[in-house]
A and B are shown apart, each in its own frame.
Chain A
Amino acid sequence: MNAPFYQFGLFGNDTALLFAVIIGIGFGFFLEQAGFGSSVKLAQQFYFTDLTVFKVMFTAIVTAMQGLFWLSWFGVLDLSLVHVLPTFLVPQLVGGLVFGVGFVLGGYCPGTCCVASVTGKMDGWIHLLGMFAGIFLFGELFPLIGDWYSSTPKGEITLSQVFNLSHGTMVLLIVLAALAGFYSAEKLETRFRSIK
């Protein structure tokens, strides 16, 4: 078996779009099941009263990360054919800082906002409109900030390369950090819910 299937030409573009819908359905389903269609639930993350965002995000990352590692270890998946987004250090740091303020203010992120909207949250629709406006603003500013947008390029660099560790060791460290994080999250939730 050779994965990624699309990269090995097992199917064409039309089938790829069908898979896009199927994968999207799974994505939207679990986002809604986790409670991410509610801005109030999402925002509790930043007040320590409900750390579901952290738990779901890191469980998902750790699951997919280990899946990639083991499938590649057993020779099923060619990791070099999985597209890693290149790093642009300063723009990604600044973008993250702007995004974080938007998260607290708006209560949703782009994916969860779609799930909120489709389940009837009016603030989700308004948030979606705001995002269209923000992207339009970025597009109009692009001729001015395009150079900065492409500054500090570091290529397709990974944490394993930065810390000079093997892929497996890096994966293990992140799993251990996540487990410690989950333990702390449960403790924090109990404490902050009791003082509320």
Chain B
Amino acid sequence: MQTPKPYMNPYLAGIGLGLVLLAAFVVMGRGLGASGALSSFVTLGVNAVAPAHAQTNAFYKEYLGTPNGNPLNDWLVYEIAGVLIGGLISGLIAGRVRRTVDKGARITVSTRMIYAFGGGILMGLGSKIARGCTSGQALTGGALLSVGSWVFMIAVFASAYAVAYFFRKQWT
């Protein structure tokens, strides 16, 4: 098995990420996103199981799409498909693609999985309440100086630092 290459210098990676974001602004007039695409997938699922339910709920309705009502025919869904491809390319080049569970040494795999699932639920809720995540709000809104995005970003760091002590075993 090849040894993984070291990560890119953080400032260089940041400039790269910033230029990608800038390209989105220049080409499309919009920024990046991630949680929006996940909402499209959830809406697709709900619509497949209970179409009447999805069509009467204002949240799902927004993601159902027009005119043929395919939630996957959406800019962010295509963008997130690109994210998967780009992440895989980078991982392959650097020798970092391998089946593993990322966790600190002091917890078991099953504890890590429970935390990952619980954290995912909170993150899904939080990103929907805030109308976006680290991509759509923090990066995109941050660069556009949107007040709500900066409030979101500060709140994320504040609450993460506030609770970090209680979960230190998982990571350190």
- Cross-chain contact A88 with B131 (CB below 8 angstroms): yes
- For residue B134, which residue of chain A has the nearest CB? A109
Q: How far is the CA of A131 from the CA of B138 in the complex (A)?
A: 18
- Residues of B contacting A162 with CB < 8 Å? 147
- Residues of B contacting A135 with CB < 8 Å? 35, 38-39, 42, 124-125, 127-128
Contacts of A96-154 to chain B: CB distance below 8 A = 96-124, 126-139, 142-143, 146, 149, 154
Q: Which residues of B come within 8 Å of A, CB atoms?
A: 7-8, 10-11, 13-32, 34-35, 38-39, 41-43, 45-46, 57-60, 75-76, 78-91, 94, 96-104, 112-113, 115-164, 167-168, 170-172
Q: How far is the CA of A56 from the CA of B80 in the complex (A)?
A: 20
- For residue B125, which residue of chain A has the nearest CB? A134
Q: How far is the CA of A62 from the CA of B22 in the complex (A)?
A: 11
Interface of B (DSSP majority class): helix
- Cross-chain contact B94 with A134 (CB below 8 angstroms): no
Contact of B134 among A57, A87, A105 (CB under 8 A): A57
- For residue B154, which residue of chain A has the nearest CB? A96
Contact of A113 among B31, B59, B79, B120 (CB under 8 A): B120
- For residue B96, which residue of chain A has the nearest CB? A119
Q: How far is the CA of A133 from the CA of B45 in the complex (A)?
A: 11
Q: Could you list 17 A-B pairs, sorted by A, with CB under 8 Å?
A: A4-B26, A5-B28, A28-B82, A31-B87, A32-B86, A65-B143, A81-B29, A83-B29, A98-B126, A99-B159, A115-B83, A119-B96, A122-B113, A129-B117, A137-B124, A138-B59, A159-B145
